[in-house]
Amino acid sequence: MPRLDKVLTVDEMMALAKRRVPKQFFQYADSGSWTEGTYRANSADFSKILLRQRVAVNIDNRVHETQMLGTSVAMPVALAPTGLTGMQSADGEIKAARAAEAFGVPFTLSTMSICSIEDVAEHTSEPFWFQLYVMRDRAFIERLIDRARAAKCSALVLTVDLQISGQRHKDLRNGMTAPPKMTPRFVAEMALKPRWALEMLQTRRHTFRNVVGHVDSVGDLSGLAAWTNRQFDPTLHWGDIKWIKQRFGGPVIVKGILDAEDARQAVGHGADAIIVSNHGGRQLDGAASTIRALPEIVDAVGKTTEVYLDGGVRSGQDIIKALALGARSTFIGRAFLWGLGAGGEAGVTRVLEIIRRELDITMALCGERDVREIGRHNLYSIDLPPRTLPGQSGTAQKTVPPTG
């Protein structure tokens, strides 16, 4: 079994997680909707952006720290909200939150987490962020917001791109549930993943603990599935930001923005920051990658609010490219899930170490000492065609021509 300190890249961590996590949960993370074209593009489009190397400049004493919502963070990275995190590793949300806290970056707990808000608050000492879905049962959502406030969560991340679920074929074929159904196929899978199975036997946290016990009609797995399927609210609108902010009493980040006009609407209705996100390619297959959409959105609202990016971030170089195109910070989801599946809390820490080292070396080779000074001057070229559909307006991405 390879030691975590021998793992040098996020891709290597992914391969290790694949060997340790049951197929249905590994594929829950490693999948997109329909053809998975947008899922693949999220990562592939980073490779179409070339960095500008600089030499013979002072690169001593490099600074990785920045700020998100006025709070200092160790590097421009936060852990994204991911559902079923506690199925990658037993008590996974607690482990990931601890790793993020020790490293000095934000952790965001999903509404559809295995560990509850209270579970994570009990096992951490610093405030974390909570991701919120707006559901038809507004009384439940109000209670959920109140629970996040009581747990001293310092921000809400409002996800706006899941009014209806995308076509996620792998999840359907795998029959994925939490807790998992003890089918012959899954029992055989557990026999091949004994470490995962043993850890799961040692925790009581196996289902969506933010929901079960907090909704009258949800007391078992069948009730949970029925409730969830009818709860995502297709009537969500921008005005909902106002009552959510009033109820929470703290900053609200809007996640799921891929369009400049949507970005303006979010900010105009009170968003304190936005996340350029396509739900990791798990919603509209055929949508733009997030790095492709980023510059247009930065041009639209970047002077009035903080713009973050998630989707496809697998390395410190990806972070440099996102910052160069105007993001204040980035979120990682699958990358930390693979660390969690491969090695629990230590695996998440190792992923953060890998990304920080790649970020540091890339900064140095680009001639930068402070991560906050990274900008378009650090790019050599961008091979991402601008948006040129007939009749569309708005600022498109511009190609940076090769020079020198």
75 located within any domain: yes
Query: Per-residue pLDDT for 71 more than 90?
Result: yes
Residue 40 annotated as part of some ligand binding site? no
More confident residue, 164 or 51: 51
d(CA 314, CA 321): 12
* pLDDT, position 177: 72
Q: How many domains is the chain partitioned into structurally?
A: 1
pLDDT band at residue 221, thresholds of 50, 70 and 90? Answer: low
Nearest to 274 by CA among 177, 160, 117, 142: 160
Position 172 in a domain? yes
Q: Is residue 131 part of an annotated ligand binding site?
A: yes
Q: Is 120 assigned to a binding site?
A: no
Span 179-197, average pLDDT: 86
pLDDT at 398: 44
Q: Does a structural domain hold residue 400?
A: no
pLDDT tens-digit map of 128-169: 999 999 989 999 999 999 999 999 999 999 999 988 888 888
Q: What CATH number did the domain enclosing 367 receive? A: 3.20.20.70
Backbone angles phi, psi at 58, to 5 degrees: -70, 115
Give the confidence band of 209 by pLDDT, cuts at 50, 70, 90: very high
What's the pLDDT band for 403 if we cut at 50, 70, 90?
A: very low
Catalytic residue positions, numbered: 279
Q: What pLDDT is attached to residue 332?
A: 98
Q: What is the DSSP letter of 385?
A: P
Does 82 fall in a domain?
yes
Residue 401 lies in a domain: no
Domain that holds residue 222: 4-382
Residue 391 within any structural domain of the chain = no
Averaged pLDDT, 338-362: 98
380 is in an annotated binding site: no
Write down the pLDDT at residue 378.
98
Is the pTM here over 0.85, yes or no? yes
User: Is residue 163 annotated as involved in ligand binding?
Assistant: no
Residue 313 domain flag:
yes
Does 239 carry a binding-site annotation? no
Instruction: Look at 148 and 229; give whichever has higher pLDDT.
Output: 148
Angle subtended by helix axes 290-301 and 260-268, to nearest 10: 50
